[in-house]
Amino acid sequence: MFQVPKPPKGLKVASEATSDAVEVQWSHSSGKRDGYEVFIHPDENVTGPSRVTALTKNKYTFTGLVPGTEYTITLHSVANAVRSEAVTATVTTGK
């Protein structure tokens, strides 16, 4: 019987955000998963979002971001093309 994958835990900004990049990391989810899908959504004044799929590691660095902009990061575990509940974090790039 297939179950929805469990969400990852502990999503956080791994180090201080620079003016154009941010690294995020998380703890692996328990149970079966094929990987992770992570989105970064800028505030309403900047175009986006950006999505990265098929991640198997538990960290990722987004680059090419706009300085002084607030972003929401949304993370899912994925198994059999089904997403877990979302885990979110917010970060503002440096100026």
Digitized pLDDT (tens) for each residue of the chain, 95 residues in all: 678 999 999 999 988 889 999 999 999 988 889 999 999 988 776 666 687 877 889 999 999 898 999 999 999 999 999 999 999 999 999 98
Which residue in 19, 8, 16, 88 sits closest to 55, CA to CA? 8
Cβ–Cβ contacts within 10 Å for residue 55, how many? 14
Please report the pLDDT score of residue 94 as a whole number.
Answer: 92
| 9-92: CATH class | mainly beta
For the chain, domain boundaries = 9-92
Token readout for 47 is 């175009």
- Whether 93 and 71 have beta carbons less than 8 Å apart is answered as yes
Q: Is the pTM of this model over 0.85?
A: yes
Which parts of the chain are beta strand (E)? Answer: 9-13, 21-27, 35-42, 50-55, 59-63, 70-79, 82-83, 87-92
